[in-house]
Structure 1
Amino acid sequence: MKKPSPYLTFAGAIPFVLCAILITMNVDAIRVLGKTEYVLSIYGLVIASFMAGAHWGNHLGLADDNIWAVKLPIFSNIIALALWLGFLSLSAVGFIWLLVVGFIAMLVIDYGLYQASIISPDYFKVRKYVTLIVVVSLVIVGLQL
């Protein structure tokens, strides 16, 4: 059986795209969920935190002398905490742009992990495409707000 992770990764981009479409159409709120920009911000924070947690998890299986065993827990904590503090302190548009920076930073980290053969070429390929979808969606929103 093929792993579901590539499909789930692409599916995870759907709320970013839908929120970008709704905001472009001037839909200010999603019934039951709240303001569209808030829904997007919370979802982005959850996904980015999840991805930072995946980086944390990657470091656990590395040998102590691997440079990524030191870098990953530090970078993952900095990214997760910066995004959380940004969510609490920035305007909606400011936080959207911080998410753009955060997702790009995590892709750069994944590129380093790919170069070090810590993550597979297939996983990195999926990450590139999904990050592109997410970042484009967030940029569209950032330009609309």
Structure 2
Amino acid sequence: MPIRKLTQGLTFAGALPFYLALLPVLDHDVRLKAFLTYGAIIAAFMAGTLWGLVQQISSDALKQRLLLVSNGVALAIWGSLLIESTGLALALQLLGFLVLLAEERGLARQGSEPQWYWIMRRRITALVSAAYVLAFLFLA
């Protein structure tokens, strides 16, 4: 299987647990915990992908910004798991995904990522963002 197709398949399959956590088959608190912990894992994973990209960029200023943003997002996402307010935790995680998307946009504009990857990132972030809106409605 070509890497592009595998990447796309795994990426979109990765959105499924967000939506599965919204299904009212389990207790509300279990679903909320599942949603937030999965969101934290995926956001931290996405923040970590910036580290690999940094090695391919020539601008030291951009490298520094990406490293700081990726670490900042990862720490904020971790903090979201410690917050008592469900709405604030969900909002912080959603913001993390959007910040990461903004950084990826800059990389796509510079040609550091293939165009198909940027299109996929926009689409998956839209799907994940929609799941967060639903989580605000049904879990917060």
Q: What TM-score, normalized to structure 2?
A: 0.89
Q: 2:100 aligns with which of 97, 101, 106?
A: 106
SS in 1 for 2:81: helix
Deviations 1:82-137 (A, max 9, x none): 11112113423321111111111111111111001111110011111111000001
Cα RMSD after superposing both structures:
1.7
Q: 2:41 aligns with which of 37, 42, 46?
A: 46
Paired positions, count: 137
Unaligned runs of 5+ residues in structure 1 are none
**Cα deviation, residue 9, structure 1:** 0.5
For residue 19 of structure 2, what is the aligned residue in structure 1?
A: 17
Matched, 1:134 2:125: no
For residue 70 of structure 1, what is the aligned residue in structure 2?
A: 64
CA distance in 1, matches of 2:25, 2:52: 39
For residue 7 of structure 1, what is the aligned residue in structure 2?
A: 9
**Runs ≥4 residues deviating over 6 A:** none
SS in 2 for 1:88: coil
Q: 1:119 aligns with which of 92, 113, 116?
A: 113
For residue 28 of structure 1, what is the aligned residue in structure 2?
A: 27
Say if 1:67 and 1:110 are closer, same or farther in 2 by CA, change over 3 A. Answer: same
**Cα deviation, residue 143, structure 1:** 2.1
CA contact (8 A) 1:107 1:131 kept: yes
Q: What TM-score, normalized to structure 1?
A: 0.86
Unaligned runs of 5+ residues in structure 2 are none
Q: 1:96 aligns with which of 73, 90, 98?
A: 90
For residue 80 of structure 2, what is the aligned residue in structure 1?
A: 86
